[in-house]
Structure 1
C-alpha cells in the first residue's frame, strides 16, 4: 500500500509540472520556488501548535487547488503559480514521507512518525 500511495503522490507531482508548464514562466522558476512552502516551518519558533497550523496551511492540497483555481479564474499568473507550487511541493513532501503535522511534535505526521520504521 505504501508504494501505491507514493506512486499517487508522484503522479500529483508530475501533474504540478504539467500545470506549471501551461503558465508563462521560464522553466527554472519551478525548481527555484518548489521549496518555498517550507518557510512555513518558521511558525515552530513560536510553539509546536502554531508551527503545525502554519505548516499545514501551506502544505494542504485544497489550499493549493484554491490558489490555482482563483488564479485561473482571475487570470492572475502569480496566484496560479502559487497554487501549482503549493500543490507540487505538498505532493513531493508526501512522496518522501513528510505529512501534515500534529500539534504535539514536528515529527508526528498524518503519515506516521518521521524517521521511525513502521
Structure 2
C-alpha cells in the first residue's frame, strides 16, 4: 500500500477504510464467539456471499448490483434485526455475514462500480491495479 503524500492524499483514507474492515471482521467474529454457535457453520458459510459474483455472468451492471446488495452492511444489519422475531440463528448468520464483508474490505475489495468487477469504491483491484 502506498504512503500518504501530497501527490497521493487518498492513501490515508484507503488505510482507514481497510482498518474499518478489520474492525468489522473482529466484531463479527467476536459476536459469533459470544453467541457460541458452531464453527463448522461459520466455516461453511463465510464465503457464501461471494456467490453474488455470479451476477457478472449476465452483465457488469447486474453483477455490480447483485454483489453490492450482498456486500453492504445494511443487509446483515436487517438480518440481525430480524433476530428479534426469528431467534439466535439470525444473529449468527448476521455475524458471519458482517465478518465476511469486513474481511473483503480489509483485503481492499470494495463495493463494485458498473464499469467492471475490478473497479471498486476503494480503488482498482486485481489486473486493473497492476496495469497502473
TM-score range, shorter chain: 0.7 to 0.9
Structure 2 match to 1:69: 81
Structure 2 match to 1:95: 106
Distance 2:114 2:50 in 1: 17
**TM-score, normalised via structure 2 length:** 0.79
Structure 2 match to 1:28: 40
User: Pairwise CA RMSD of aligned residues?
Assistant: 1.7
Distance 2:57 2:17 in 1: 31
Alpha-carbon offset, residue 75 of structure 1: 4.0
**Structure 2 residue ranges without an equivalent (≥5):** 1-11
Structure 2 match to 1:109: 120
Alpha-carbon offset, residue 42 of structure 1: 0.8
Count of residues in correspondence between the two structures = 117
SS in 1 for 2:39: coil
SS in 2 for 1:28: helix
Distance 2:67 2:16 in 1: 25
Alpha-carbon offset, residue 24 of structure 1: 4.5
* Residues 40 and 88 of structure 1, relative CA distance in 2, 3 Å threshold: same
**Structure 1 residue ranges without an equivalent (≥5):** none
Structure 1 match to 2:69: 57
SS in 1 for 2:56: helix
Q: Give 4+ residue runs of structure 1 displaced > 4 Å after superposition.
A: none
